[in-house]
Structure 1
Amino acid sequence: SASGHKGITKQYPHTPGIDAGGIVEMSKNADFAADDEVIVTGYDLGMNTDGGFAEYIRVPADWVVTRPRGLTLRDCMSLGTAGYTAAVALYKMQALQQDPSMGPVVVTGSTGGVGSLAVALLAKAGYEVIAVTGKSNAEEYLKHLGASRVESREFVEDLSGKSLLKTRWAGAVDTVGGTTLSMLLKACGPEGTIVSTGMVQSHALTTTLYPFILNGVNLVGVGSAGMDMTTRKKIWKLLEEDWNIKDKFPAIVKEIKLEELATNHVETILEGKNMGRVLVKI
């Protein structure tokens, strides 16, 4: 939306912002009343519906979640769609029996929003995390979040041309796609799960069936924007309780004012130079 992609946002000018947290001003739905603290992440918010970079927004009631009691509105927005996506990735991995005893889990794009929060969540859940990054100055940051190892992008590159490789990890949360996702599949251990959450490198995937039919590898996606409300509330409950990573927010989250957003932050994010999350205070 911020880059003017017509496949995402069809009408401009437009107010972006795919996350919002605030206080209900008025509601025609019995589930919500004035002064309730609520959050919205995903759905069409910030795409074809004016988003969170506004003082007031109007959204359907079935997009809205009451703020979890153990999290403040700031905590919820520190997580936002990125944290929710990372949590869904972990939720799906565990549903497919991914266990810390199986070995390390790789996180690609590990300094981005989804990547940073995936590192912290996986570490909180007891997994050994290998954080992959193209940033040479990120090791201290990633180890603070819980990464056991920090590797360069070359760690997940493969020039062998082979269809299957020796096991190097037990699973992965991938934000990159393309040849990196192909490599993650080739070198994943038996019955491991690779979760695809992004396509920063490429939307294309070239692979063979060998990882799936010889090693039983699972490839799953995260369509967090439109996930059903029952599961959505369950994920937020986990983020409130068992997967609470509030102690990592000071390192992950930078708070700015709305007027600062257009000066350099949008371009920094689009160019992949940002680390962690940017929280916009309206």
Structure 2
Amino acid sequence: MSVTRAITAPRRAVRKAQRQIMVPLVIAVAFFAMIGSLFDSTSSRSTSNNPPATSAPQTTSGTYVYVTGTRVNQRDGPSTSDRVMGVLVEGTRVQLLRDEGQWAQIRSDLGTGWMYSSFLSPNGTSVAQPVSPDRGLRASDVRIIDGDTINVRGITPNVRLVGFNTPETWQASCTAERQVGERATARLSQLVRNAASIEFERVACSCRPGTEGTDRCNFGRLCGSLFVDGQDVGRTLIGEGLAVPYRYGRTSCPPRPQAWCQ
């Protein structure tokens, strides 16, 4: 054997051994690639045949809660301008359907309607029946404090009527303010005394959470609206020049208008 053949012989043997190893390795890789492709294709078809998952809408349907306000109106829409279906008294058990801002859609013996969610609680000790609209307050149930503050029998403390402001009578800035304030107080008393129907609705005060009913919110008063013969008394007093509109913020009240001493 020549020297050259002696040198190259081991190299040829190595290449031959490499070919013997590589051929089965390539076959094995191709086989596993084909199997993987089949699995991917099957998975893709399975995914395409199934509709995409969608998140279920959040709902509170079926949850039963209790009315905490003494007398709370149930309305046919989420606004104080919507029709009053009836009055729910404290302890009434209702079904909570969904929340929308400060309003809750409920189902009671009056039907499906809306009320302020702040007057609902998961805890209750008694079950009361709703009061129909024609069984509203009597004049003797309402005591007039001033033109925009009343006391309702069975509700403690006093109630600040919302949406309007009347002149002060106790700490008036001028004689004219006190005089108009006294007229507003007398007019509100007259409206209540001569009313064929009186309705009261509790509303949430525009205070920081957890402060309503304390001295840190509205001087400890509650908040509400009073309707005489179907009309808010504030609208009547404003129309007669005995009050001015007073709109609240979400958690605070603007400075009181000083329109009486100018």
Q: Structure 1-normalised TM-score?
A: 0.22
Whose strand proportion is higher, 1 or 2? 2
Question: TM (normalized to structure 2)?
Answer: 0.23
Q: Which has the larger radius of gyration?
A: 2
RCO higher in structure (CA 8 A, sep ≥6): 1
